[in-house]
Structure 1
Amino acid sequence: MRLGTAISDILHAQRGSLFPWVPVLLGAGIGGYFSLKSEPSGAVIAGLAALSLLSGACAVLRRPLAFLCWAPALVAAGLCLSYARTHSVSAPVLDFRFYGPVEGRVIALDRSPTDALRLTLDQVRLGRVAQEDTPARVRISLKGQAVIPPPGARVMTTAHLLPPQGPAEPGGFDFRRHAWFKQLGGLGYTRVPVLLAEAPGAAVPVEQLRRGLARYLQQRLPGETGGFAAAVTAGDRSGVSQETLEALRQSNLAHLLAISGLHMGLLTGFVFAALRSLMCLVPWIALHWPVKKLAAVAALSAGAGYLLLSGGSVATERAFIMVAVMFGAVLLDRRAITLRAVAVAAVIVLLRRPESLLSPGFQMSFAATAALVAVFAALRDREVPLGPRWLRPVAALVVSSAVAGAATAPFAAAHFNTIPHYGLLANLLSVPVMGSVVIPAAVLALCLAPFGLEWIGLSVMKWGMDWILWVARGVSGFDGAVSHVAAPGPWVLPLLAGGMIFAVIWRGRLRLAGLLPAAAALGIWAVAERPGILIADSGGLVGVMEDRGRALSRAKGQAFTAEIWLENDGDAASQPVAASRWTEVRGALPVWHGGHFRLIHAPGARKLSAVNGCSGGDIVISTVPGGDGCLVLTPEVMRQTGSLALTRDGKLLTARQAAGDRPWTGWQPEGSEIRRLRLLLNGGKSQ
């Protein structure tokens, strides 16, 4: 009884601040689902659903400990929700390398990391592939394509397609999971022209409008400025070069390129403030009409239009939900910017797309928003002065930039392995220009377009964007502009996020206890060790950690995998530099000696033929089958395990072990080669 009374008193002291725990508990269930190594059975899901309903029913009794009943209900609901979402988007995935005719409708255009234009197609038809086995969507990179097909057009070409690839290393980012929820069942490229099979119809008018706007802006604002303008207005990044993208990332200004909370907030805030001010200039309207609510409705309408025009990406949708909750609070005469409003937006996003919990966009945007709300609420409650009235906007900008940067820095470092050191300076120089020049000029251009005077707004918009690009290039060119950090272990971010969430939501001095797990997470991250040996699932690359950093077996080829390995090491070296670290080469074959085994990298048939016999402790990694009598790890063999990580003494971790057997993994049963590998690395003893 005493324990129950004590818990009841603690929860009673938290009244009014318990709702923000709803998305936290829901997210715990979602995170638990995605951390499972095997898919739960239907019976388990049914049991969890019953537990959720039963716990919810107990909570409805509104007893003092009702929140303790809601907690398991929400966690179980998050897991069940993730299961339902996973199976609702199920679609065929290629399980072989396809080469042949491809036909489909263009639904999106973007650029790959190598700056190649990419088409995403739906309504796909593949030559010699039954329709029930054909992916719902495929994505094709265009090599040397001169004519860009418009969205909605039906096109045909001859392309190479592969299944979505697994993690570049065990425990790394699983692109197959990402592709599963986008229903991308095949990815590849074409070197032949893409032919127009059918003109765009009326099925995707918004995409046609977006593409038309992007082309118009790129014509009126040539060069990188036009590409930047198309990106922030229509969500079309195809006109932004990789050089500009890299400059924006290194100056911590990449968030200005993605249509997210900042853009949506600036646009709707500008519309709200402008209309409210204009209506207040007319005394009769100000006295007889609900000016604030009318301006909120108009701003919300502008946000909805921006959502459609920008392509409705997950980040933009999330931003719109947040501003919709804010303006909904205005319409209901509630405080618009509170942790409760942030929690409502998070719940809506998680209910719609549970998988977004794992995305850096979700983590960074809600971390920044929650931190800003908490900090400014604390400043308001404690009546902390921000200086004289004329200086307060500048002080608020400095505080908000510093708080948002600090809140998002751990997540950005974990996902992108970089820390921009001059990000605060770049944001202080750029964000005011985006809010006071670029966004208002874009709205002005839209309002003047019917009169043929949009050039006025576009001219002002160009000046603001040129300034932002100049700042990005200048700041990214500073010495030591970026430092690189190693990837954290799997529990670092959950531990860090859990501690900071507790510190933000909990009331009272006990909230400081949340800093302990956050500090522990940073300590674990600081001493994290990277795998000694990495082997790509393609058989095309091997990386061994040496005193100078990771040594790569090739100076060219497998560039994407090499880049990911080096980034996760926190290593800024290029692939050729990393390849120069490899110390032993026999003939043309890189060789590395372990404790009781030897690695030989022989990509391609010619190099594999140069392997002159194998001893019992030799492991040959190749891109082709062969090597009589040798233990050869080829792409066909590695499809059973995915990429491999080994310690120097031979302890093995596979991508299969790290990711588990889930609907999106598509592992094949392990064969004799993998059993031989495990036996060899175990010192000849059966496991």
Structure 2
Amino acid sequence: MVTVMLIAVLADRRVLSLRSVAVAAIIVLVLRPEALLGPGFQLSFAATAALIAVFNGLRDRDISLGPRWLRPAVAVVISSAVAGLATAPIAAAHFNQIAHYGLIANLLSVPLMGVIVIPMAVLAGLLMPFGLEGPVLSIMGLALDWILGVAHTTSGWEGARGMVPSPGKAVLPLIALGALFALLWKGRLRILGVVPVVLGFALWAGTPRPDVLIAETGGLVGIMTDQGRALSKPRGAGFVALNWLENDGNPSSQDAANALWSESTTRAWKITHLLGKKAAESFDSCAREDWVILSAVPRDLNLPCRVIHPKTLRASGALALYKTKDGIKTISARDVTGTRLWHAQ
């Protein structure tokens, strides 16, 4: 973006414009097209485009930010609010979190980043060949300590973090399409950009989560209940458990989720989860409508029920079960990612 801006200066063109953002985005995507799907690209360009659009709008309409002495503070408030709103849906979609006190944290830290940290970093780079960067880096360190302190303090406040479930595939594209239309279109028709945005949020609110999740090793099962997802064990497969709970928008720990696991929960789905080779070998009875998930391959596979074990999961990957009016719908990880050369057949 800085390179595009410098070229615009040399060409005597407007520096901060949506065209500059578009050119910078095209350059990045030509070099690394996969960046489009990454949160870094999406967050950076969403914030930049929104900031340029808002401040250009204020300038074109000759809207004053107040007395000269107050303008820097007002600009920080506006930029923090705009960037926060523009990036909030993307951050929530990728990380399942919303920072409720982000504006306050930005107001307390962004001025130091621009006034002290960045200038001191540049100055330290210039002085480093002469071995004189020490005092400059010390000043920079004090400012960074303040910024980190603000982050730790605000994140520790009650209600600082909100959790949201993962959206469906169409949600972010719809929101982005509507926002881009509203930013780029000239005239009153830009209000139509609100329609895809509202539709995207409506789809997000109605995104279904799997009723049952089965880890690809068979070592963990999660069943959705009215109180949240119940996990079959309090420890082990922690990374999988964390991802399941985050994608549900559930701030609970694995221990708390395991406390919801009960006989009534498993009975409602006719699910039995057995851990260890001994439990798999001793299991020999089940009804046709039962689901039995094992963490080890059983000796006898001729059972009337649906038996899920590491050997079957090696071919399918993790499983998600949805209860529909036509019965239980099963979606495997392979259904989502497709078959790769390195997948077991």
**Who is 1:508 aligned against?**
187
Q: Deviations over 1:417-470 (max 9, x none)?
A: 111100011011111111211122222223333333222102101110110111
Matching residue's letter, 2:334: R
Paired with 2:55 and 2:41, the residues of 1 have a C-alpha distance of 21
Matching residue's letter, 1:402: A
**Who is 1:527 aligned against?**
206
**Who is 1:380 aligned against?**
59
- Gapped runs of 5+ residues in structure 2? none
**Who is 1:549 aligned against?**
228
Matching residue's letter, 1:446: G
Q: Does 1:657 align with 2:332?
A: no
SS in 1 for 2:328: coil
Q: 1:665 to 1:490 in 2, by over 3 A?
A: farther
**Who is 1:637 aligned against?**
312
Pairs within 5 Å for 1:301-312: none
Q: Is the 8 A contact 1:611 1:627 kept in 2?
A: no
Paired with 1:623 and 1:480, the residues of 2 have a C-alpha distance of 38
Pairs within 5 Å for 1:168-183: none
Q: 1:381 to 1:427 in 2, by over 3 A?
A: same
Q: Does 1:427 align with 2:106?
A: yes
Shift of 1:381: 0.6
Which of 447, 450, 457 pairs up with 2:129? 450
Q: Is the 8 A contact 1:337 1:373 kept in 2?
A: yes
Matching residue's letter, 1:324: T
Q: Is the 8 A contact 1:492 1:521 kept in 2?
A: yes
**Who is 2:275 aligned against?**
603
Pairs within 5 Å for 1:401-480: 401-480=80-159
Paired with 1:346 and 1:440, the residues of 2 have a C-alpha distance of 26
Shift of 1:604: 2.1
Q: 1:494 to 1:510 in 2, by over 3 A?
A: same
Pairs within 5 Å for 1:45-56: none
Paired with 1:508 and 1:501, the residues of 2 have a C-alpha distance of 14
Q: Does 1:354 align with 2:33?
A: yes
SS in 1 for 2:222: strand
Q: Is the 8 A contact 1:641 1:667 kept in 2?
A: no
Which of 310, 318, 331 pairs up with 2:10? 331
Q: Deviations over 1:466-497 (max 9, x none)?
A: 10111111101111001111111111111111
Matching residue's letter, 2:119: P
SS in 1 for 2:223: strand
Matching residue's letter, 1:474: T
Q: Is the 8 A contact 1:625 1:632 kept in 2?
A: no
Shift of 1:575: 0.2
Shift of 1:658: 2.4
Pairs within 5 Å for 1:26-425: 322-425=1-104
Matching residue's letter, 1:646: L
Paired with 2:318 and 2:289, the residues of 1 have a C-alpha distance of 20
SS in 2 for 1:534: strand
- Gapped runs of 5+ residues in structure 1? 1-321, 670-687
Q: Deviations over 1:334-381 (max 9, x none)?
A: 111111111111111111111111111111111111111111111111
Identity, in percent, stands at 53
Paired with 1:444 and 1:507, the residues of 2 have a C-alpha distance of 42
The normalised TM-score by structure 2 is 0.93
Paired with 2:214 and 2:34, the residues of 1 have a C-alpha distance of 28
Paired with 2:77 and 2:172, the residues of 1 have a C-alpha distance of 26
- Between Structure 1 and Structure 2, how many residues are aligned? 339
Paired with 1:428 and 1:546, the residues of 2 have a C-alpha distance of 40
**Who is 1:299 aligned against?**
none
Matching residue's letter, 1:396: A
Paired with 1:375 and 1:440, the residues of 2 have a C-alpha distance of 26
Q: 1:658 to 1:592 in 2, by over 3 A?
A: farther
Matching residue's letter, 1:372: L
SS in 1 for 2:91: helix
Q: Deviations over 1:38-89 (max 9, x none)?
A: xxxxxxxxxxxxxxxxxxxxxxxxxxxxxxxxxxxxxxxxxxxxxxxxxxxx
Paired with 2:130 and 2:53, the residues of 1 have a C-alpha distance of 45
Q: Deviations over 1:163-194 (max 9, x none)?
A: xxxxxxxxxxxxxxxxxxxxxxxxxxxxxxxx
Paired with 1:610 and 1:555, the residues of 2 have a C-alpha distance of 23
Paired with 2:321 and 2:212, the residues of 1 have a C-alpha distance of 5
Shift of 1:627: 4.5
SS in 2 for 1:601: strand
SS in 2 for 1:347: helix
**Who is 1:622 aligned against?**
294
Instruction: After superposing the two structures, state which structure 1 stretch, 352-361 or 616-625, moved more.
Output: 616-625
Paired with 1:436 and 1:346, the residues of 2 have a C-alpha distance of 27
Matching residue's letter, 2:118: I
Shift of 1:592: 4.1
Paired with 1:652 and 1:390, the residues of 2 have a C-alpha distance of 62
The normalised TM-score by structure 1 is 0.48
Paired with 1:592 and 1:468, the residues of 2 have a C-alpha distance of 51
Paired with 2:267 and 2:244, the residues of 1 have a C-alpha distance of 18
